[in-house]
A and B are shown apart, each in its own frame.
Chain A
């Protein structure tokens, strides 16, 4: 039955995707929630919580406030906290109950902004989609609101990295490796959205020659930057030396033509190998990139089971968008090897080899120490 899971985990939700995307940018993120979201996010989804002083809160919504539509309580609380804490921006993200009551996130954000003078966003997350949806919303919001207009492109090759959160890349140095990859290819990295870059650095993103989208969470922001600045983008996580070379070629082509390279459009990566010997389970762009790297380096056919929101057009025929335990079990029939988060192992075929590839977005902090930096250490 769809929507049931006998034993596997649940992906981080859209609400937490907003928090993760904005965590390092000096803003205040408020989850409009009764209780529990803050503890969940900071325990399982946010490895930076202990070491960075980012402001992520819940509103503490009560039954009576929800029933009576008392938005003033939330607005007053946000304004009071913002006056004390002086965030660079305020983001309000939704959860199931505000979704049910038809809470108007945009209107409340406008009221908050009017009272505080601090830029405010409303993100109508529902708590019922995955982190990809929320992080994508947040990055696109930053692109439209904070990136400076009327700037000149750099005279030299330059790039932004879009779609970087610990939910996809943990805190194992992957973001630094992606910067190194681009620098070695001759690109100055203007910003990394959003690990290791400040809001001020991100505001300069319009000057870049090209954008590299390394997970599905960055695609909406890339589209916004294309629309606002004409910046082309290339989608792919730089995993494996051969695939890295292809990405560099596509980045250079994008700079040369000002357009998204045809090869990089859809499906995202072509497979030259028929069949599906190996299955990779996970987020679309990172899983496809890993699949592509394996096919290129080892000549073994790989299909992906994309478990988070991803546009079907990016996937190849043999890949599948799956949303529940039963669909995954069915799609794994016949494969010889599964590469996935360890919390998937109980539902994998017993006769298939299992290669654990933990993801914070699925198993949280449990296997954090074992999450590899595939950009630097693909084998």
Chain B
């Protein structure tokens, strides 16, 4: 990295977990963005609805990132924009601009889409636009199209639902009420498909239920069939609010069974599903034995190689650190900006049992200078950890990679062994946006 700044700039120090405060270990301030970009954004997620068209109504600075996300995905044909200019703020015609702009685009599309996701932005909310009126007008003008409200309003991220929660909830707003089929289940709120090896799919398949997941829907009609499910299952905490909304709106029941590395929590999740579906849950003690054997074998292979973890790998980075530390791995750092409520117990456990574990932020201004200058042999779990520790030995997974249950333990260890033995092209891999969305990045 070429230095253009003062070499005497003060270095940021990690915080011993024993000294860290819950839920915000680091003071908020100016924010930095790493070159690790594998996590999904609202464009990627919206594109999961088959055949739907996205229209963003924003200023140029906000459009820039989303329009190029769509272009990098090769999804330009499904993406359009209405650009807000300064005069629209003064003239107070934001509502008219949205309505007429969206209509203009729809009229120009070569094929009428079954659904349109219209994304409003911060300025609509600050200008007090009547969102309900705008969408109602669009529905009146195009009764053959399903419209839903989506949001790119990060300024509201500390008020109510986060943008991530909102987007995951919007994914199912277009589902229309249908007669429920008792043997149908929908797994909701994930960007990546649930792995076939997960015990979640294993028990559902064994019970003979029809499994719907948005990631496997190829047509809009197939997507609509998700509404036939009487049970919605989510395991990403950001999807839980959307699951509740969905059940309330079109009927059915929502179950949240969190992603976890803790055997008891996994078992509790499986039993919760079993009870709801009236099915016997297998003992899975063989899976636990497999987990323990994999922990032992992996630890023997990796030895005391320093390990770092970041929060983009999965929703339980501290839970992962706890599991690995208890098994004898040399986990030294966790990169995490805030601790979620779900991780409070693991946070406290680590404070008591592994007080020297270091926590580092990822967005703190000082992190700009924290990426190691020379390559290291740290085993990183997650893209941001790989970047900061400058290692080609890393597990390249985001958002849990569709893992759930004991499979999350077994597969994570498998990926760690692979990362330990084989180097990856870290620099290029981590810069691809929306890992797994089909985005090829540069052409």
Contacts and interface: CB of A to CB of B under 8 A. Distances in A.
A, B from the same assembly = yes
Interface of A: 1, 3-7, 9-16, 24-26, 30, 33-40, 42-45, 49-55, 57-64, 66, 77-78, 80-81, 83-88, 95-97, 99-101, 126-130, 198, 324, 343, 346, 363-370
Contact of B29 (A6, A10, A77, A127): A77
B122 A5 contact: no
A128 B443 contact: no
A9 B365 contact: no
A62 B28 CA distance: 12
Contact of B65 (A3, A40, A52, A367): A40
A50 B35 contact: yes
B67 A62 contact: no
Given A43-B433, A53-B369, A368-B442, A24 B4 contact: yes
A96 B123 contact: yes
Contacts of A5: 67, 80-83
A287 to B, nearest CB: 19
B35 A1 contact: no
A197 to B, nearest CB: 11
B108 A42 contact: no
Contact of A40 (B64, B72, B83): B64
A13 B42 CA distance: 20
B10 A366 contact: no
Nearest to A87: B5
B71 A96 contact: no
B66 to A, nearest CB: 8
B365 to A, nearest CB: 4
Given A52-B1, A52-B2, A366 B68 contact: yes
23 contacts: A3-B84, A3-B97, A4-B81, A4-B101, A5-B82, A14-B60, A15-B61, A24-B4, A26-B6, A54-B4, A64-B158, A81-B365, A86-B5, A86-B9, A87-B5, A96-B123, A99-B89, A100-B123, A100-B127, A129-B86, A363-B68, A363-B71, A366-B443
A364 B8 CA distance: 33
Contacts of A55: 5, 365, 368
B225 interface: no
A49 B36 CA distance: 11
A36 B69 CA distance: 12
A4 B72 CA distance: 20
Interface centre among B60, B62, B123, B441 (most CB of A within 10 A): B60
Interface in B341-395: 365-366, 368-369
A111 B89 CA distance: 28
Nearest to B100: A1
Nearest to B28: A60
Nearest to B368: A55
A51 B2 contact: yes
A343 B3 CA distance: 34
Contact of A53 (B89, B121, B368): B368
B105 interface: yes
Contacts of A51: 1-2
Given A9-B68, A26-B4, A16 B61 contact: yes
Given A63-B155, A87-B5, A100 B89 contact: yes
A226 B352 CA distance: 67
A6 B76 CA distance: 9
B178 interface: no
Closest 5 CB pairs of A and B: A127-B61, A40-B65, A35-B154, A13-B61, A34-B155
B366 A85 contact: yes
A225 B199 CA distance: 69
Classify chain B's interface size: 35 or more
Given A10-B60, A63-B159, A127-B60, A57 B31 contact: yes
A53 B3 contact: yes
A42 B33 contact: yes
B33 A38 contact: yes
A135 B126 CA distance: 28
Nearest to B42: A36
Given A35-B157, A367-B442, A53 B64 contact: no
Contacts of A53: 1-5, 368-369
Contact of B83 (A4, A66, A101, A366): A4
B265 interface: no
Contact of A59 (B8, B30, B77, B366): B30
A7 B155 CA distance: 27
Given A5-B67, A14-B60, 8 more contacts: A3-B82, A13-B59, A35-B155, A38-B31, A62-B155, A78-B30, A128-B61, A128-B85
Contact of B80 (A4, A81, A87): A4
B177 interface: no
A81 to B, nearest CB: 4
Nearest to A94: B61
B427 interface: yes
Contact of A44 (B9, B32, B64): B64
Contacts of A10: 60, 63-64, 67, 81, 83
B109 interface: yes
B16 interface: no
B64 A85 contact: no
Interface in B38-78: 59-65, 67-68, 71-72, 76-77
Contacts of B84: 3, 96, 128
Given A1-B101, A3-B97, A366-B72, A62 B157 contact: yes
B104 interface: yes
Contact of B37 (A1, A39, A367, A368): A39
Contact of A86 (B8, B63, B104, B441): B8
A66 B68 contact: no
A39 B38 CA distance: 12
Contact of A129 (B60, B67, B72, B154): B60
A36 B1 CA distance: 24
